[in-house]
Every structure is written in structure tokens, then in C-alpha cells.
Chains A and B, each alone.
Chain A
Amino acid sequence: MNTPELQPQTSAMSMYRAIVGIGAMCALVIVVVFQSTAARIRDNQERFLAAAISEVLPVTEETIAVDVGENGQLEKTSASLPLPVFLAYGSNGDLVGAVLTAEGMGYQDNIRVLYAYSFEKQAIVGFKILDSKETPGLGDRVEIEPHFIANFEALDARLNSSGDALNNAIVTVKQGEKTDPWQIDGITGATITSEALGNILNDSANGWLPILERDAISIDREATP
């Protein structure tokens, strides 16, 4: 209004041109980077997962990802789920167990764990924390304390007689008070974290194990999901 001659306005045309031009360039750069790194990233993720799985269930030779389908049956899946579940097969092709991811609230933030279930022993036989932000020196002792890790050599996870829930709920007890094989011996000074882990395992096992016990043996490994 006041001094149009002194302050030449940039024309709308050149603004559009600049914004569209830069937008297009940015999109090009992003897509090129995404495409060129995609294979590497997938490879990394697979390696990471394979390493973690062989840590919790060392006999594993091959795994397939499974999920509950629409009819409530277990089926092979190729989708990447937030909390994937795998069936693990040994060197001679036998079903040796299942590896499950579970997540729940810890003391500070979400804790994400990977654990292995053995069909033969009907017990949780391996355990690893994937992600946690627990207090260093206190809560994060669940990752290094030998007596706590020993809980998961064979943590009883038998189903009840009707096969729809755990026979004994997995609970964390005070350090040194473990009497039954389904109890987790806690850590003094990391009470809340060790209790939280008990809850996470119990919830996940209660939901998944009945389905796995029922359907895992009959799953077709070669099926295309």
C-alpha cells in the first residue's frame, strides 16, 4: 500500500516456483537415500534379530514369523508387527520352541523383552532385554545380575488343564524367597523393575502360549503367507 515502488514484492509466481522446485528436489534426495539404504537397513534388522534369537534360544536354525489370523488361528505372516512372535526350528527341522517379544511399563519407561518358550519343557528358557531406560546402577541390574538371569533357565509356564491360560501365574517375589519354579527371584534395589518384568512375561505368556500350544505343531512352514 504505502511504498510499492521502493519495496518490490516478489511475484506469487516466483514464490510458487521456488517452493515447488525445492519441494521436488527434497523429495528426490529423500527417495534416493531411502532406496539406496533400504536393503542395508533390512539386512541390519534381520541380523540383529537373528543374533538376539540365537542368544535366547541357541538351538534355533530357522525361524518363521507368526500371528493370529482373523479366524483366531495361528498363521504364518510376512507383515512386520510391533511385537513379533516366531516359531523356531532346530537343525533337523523339528519345532524346538517359540521366541516372543513383549513390552510393558517399567520403572522409567517402556521395557521391551525377547523371551524363548520351549514346548518340550513347557517353560520359559531364555530371556533378553531389548530396550530399557531403567535407572543405571539400580534398575538396569536386571540385565547383569547372575541370580536374576538364572530365573530364566527354566521358568515354569505350564498351561492349565483346559489349556486356555497359565496354570500358575508368573510372579516376581522378593530376593531369596523363590520357592516355586514359576516364581521369579527379584532383585533388592530393583524391585519395581523386576516386578514389571514378571508382569510383562505373565501377560504375554497368558495371551500367546495357549494359542501356540494349540496351533504351532500344525503350522505349515512352507505356506506362503
Chain B
Amino acid sequence: MNDASHWSIFLNAALVNNFVLAYFLGICPFFGVSSKLETAVRMGGAVSFVMLVASVCAFLINLLLDAVNAPFLRIISYILVISSTVQLVEMLMKKLSPTTFRAMGIYLPLITTNCAILGLALFQTNRGYSFTQSVVYSLGAGIGFALALVLMAGVREKLELNEVPDLVKGTVAALVVAGILSMGFMGFAGLGR
């Protein structure tokens, strides 16, 4: 269906069409948890992980939906299956590896309704990616998300130390920083060919 090479899919998802800075997906956690570097790294890890799980789920559901010829159930089944799988993973993690759970488990429920996850599932379906392509795409998207989050957190930590006018403090400053980061990421265009 789609013959793009794995490397170009990865580069595209991570840099050229970065989910946060080019598609505006997952903006809420991007602004919400990017004030500290430490939390940003953990959040990025958790999102990457959920993206991988969601991508595999979405691929399997799509096979099933194609088999029964019911494209109109796509949105509803994606969101339900993804959110229940994430909850399942959360429970398993709590039981099997409490340390990992403490490190990133608290973010999992927040991520379930993150638009980046559903966006990933829908984009991979729209582009007709095969199984391995989907997995590579989700890895790239996750790493790109984490990268944007960490870069943003680095800038915001420095911003804290500077004198910013009251009106601009907070969301406005974060938006301007994000805008400049997004311009920077435009420089990657043309890489994934």
C-alpha cells in the first residue's frame, strides 16, 4: 500500500512533521508538564510507550474493521480500545514493576485522552502503513514528542530565571517559545525523502 522506507517514515514522524510542532497534537501535556526537565523526560517516555501500544492496537483493530467492512466504527473503536488497553497496561505495570510505575505510571491516565495518540492511530491508517511501518512510525512520533517536550522544558527552565512581564508570563511566553521551536523544526523539511 505505502512503499515509503522505514528510515524516511521515522525521520518524518520525529522531525519533519513533528507531532507537537507541526501537527499541534498533544498540546495540552506539552504546555502542562514542560516546566521541569525531569518531568518532561518521564512524560516523553510514557507517551512514547503508549504510542507504541496504541499503534499496534490500532493496526489490529483496523484489520478487523476491514474484514467486517465497517469503516464507520473506526473512531469509536480506536478510542475505546486504546483507552482500555492503556488502563490494562497501567494495572500490569503497577503489579509487575512498581519502580517503572512510579517513574511514569502517574502520567498514563492523562495520556489516554491525549490527541497525539488518536492522531497517530488515524494517520497510520490513512496512509495505509504495514505493520512494521506502523511500529516505526509510532516510535518516530514518540521520540519526536519527547524531543519537543524536553527542548521546551529546557527553555522554560531558563525562562523562569529571567524577568518576564506579568502579562506575558505563563501560557503566552510558552506559546511564543513553541512558535520559535516550530520554526526551527521547519529546517528539517526535506530530510525524509
Query: Which single member of B76, B127, B193 contacts A192 (CB below 8 Å)?
Result: B193
**Residues of chain B with a CB closer than 8 A to A135's CB:** 186, 189
In the complex, whether A108 has a CB less than 8 A from a CB of chain B is: yes
The size bracket of the interface on B is: 10 to 19
CA separation between A105 and B173, bound complex, in Å?
35
Contact call A109/B190, Cβ cutoff below 8 A: no
In the complex, whether B34 has a CB less than 8 A from a CB of chain A is no
Smallest CB separation, A56 vs chain B (Å): 24
Chain B positions within 8 Å of A31 at CB level? 72
**A165 to B190 Cα, complex, angstroms:** 28
- Interchain CB contact (< 8 A) of A108 among B1, B8, B16, B128: B16
**A34-B72 in contact (CB<8A):** yes
Closest residue of chain A to B72 (Cβ to Cβ) is A34
A30 within 8 A of B: yes
Tell me if A197 counts as interface (CB < 8 A to partner B).
no
Residues of A contacting B161 with CB < 8 Å? none
Closest to B75 in A: A30
Contact at A108–B17, with CB atoms within 8 Å? Answer: yes
B79-127 contacts to A, CB under 8 A, are 127
- Contact (Cβ within 8 A) B190 A107: yes
> Interface residues of A, CB < 8 Å — how many?
15
Contact (Cβ within 8 A) B189 A196: no
Q: Provide the bound-state CA to CA distance between A30 and B190, in Å.
A: 40
Inter-chain contact B189/A108, CB cutoff 8 Å: yes
Q: For window 140-193 of chain B, which residues contact chain A by CB distance below 8 Å?
A: 186, 189-190, 192-193
Asked if A51 CB lies within 8 Å of chain B CBs, one says: no
Please measure, in the bound complex, the distance between the C-alpha atom of A31 and the C-alpha atom of B178, giving whole angstroms: 41
| CB <8 Å contact, B76 and A30 | yes
In angstroms, Cα B8 to Cα A82, docked, is 20
- CB within 8 Å of B: which of A73-122? 82, 105, 107-110
Is the beta-carbon distance between B192 and A82 smaller than 8 angstroms? no
By beta carbon, the residue of chain B nearest A81 is B1
**B73 located at the interface, meaning its Cβ lies under 8 Å from any Cβ of chain A in the complex:** yes
The answer to whether B189 and A105 have CB atoms under 8 Å apart is no
Q: Does B4 contact A (CB under 8 A)?
A: yes
A26 touches B128 (CB 8 A): no
Most chain A CB within 10 A, of B73, B189, B190, B192, is at: B190
CB-defined contacts of B73 to chain A, threshold 8 Å: 27, 30
Q: How far is the CA of A108 from the CA of B191 in the complex (A)?
A: 9
A30-B73, A109-B17 in contact; A192/B190 too (CB < 8 A)? yes
Contact status A105-B8, CB under 8 Å? yes
Complex-state Cα separation, A31 to B189, whole angstroms: 41
Give A contacts to B, CB under 8 Å: 26-27, 30-31, 33-34, 82, 105, 107-110, 135, 192, 196
Q: Can you sample 12 A-B contacts with CB below 8 Å?
A: A27-B73, A30-B73, A30-B76, A31-B72, A105-B4, A105-B8, A105-B192, A108-B16, A108-B17, A108-B189, A109-B16, A109-B17
Query: With contacts A31-B72, A105-B8, A108-B16 known, what are 14 further pairs, Cβ within 8 A?
Result: A26-B76, A30-B72, A30-B73, A33-B72, A34-B72, A82-B1, A82-B128, A105-B12, A105-B192, A107-B190, A108-B17, A109-B12, A109-B16, A192-B193
| Among all A-B residue pairs, the 3 with the closest Cβ atoms | A34-B72, A192-B190, A107-B190
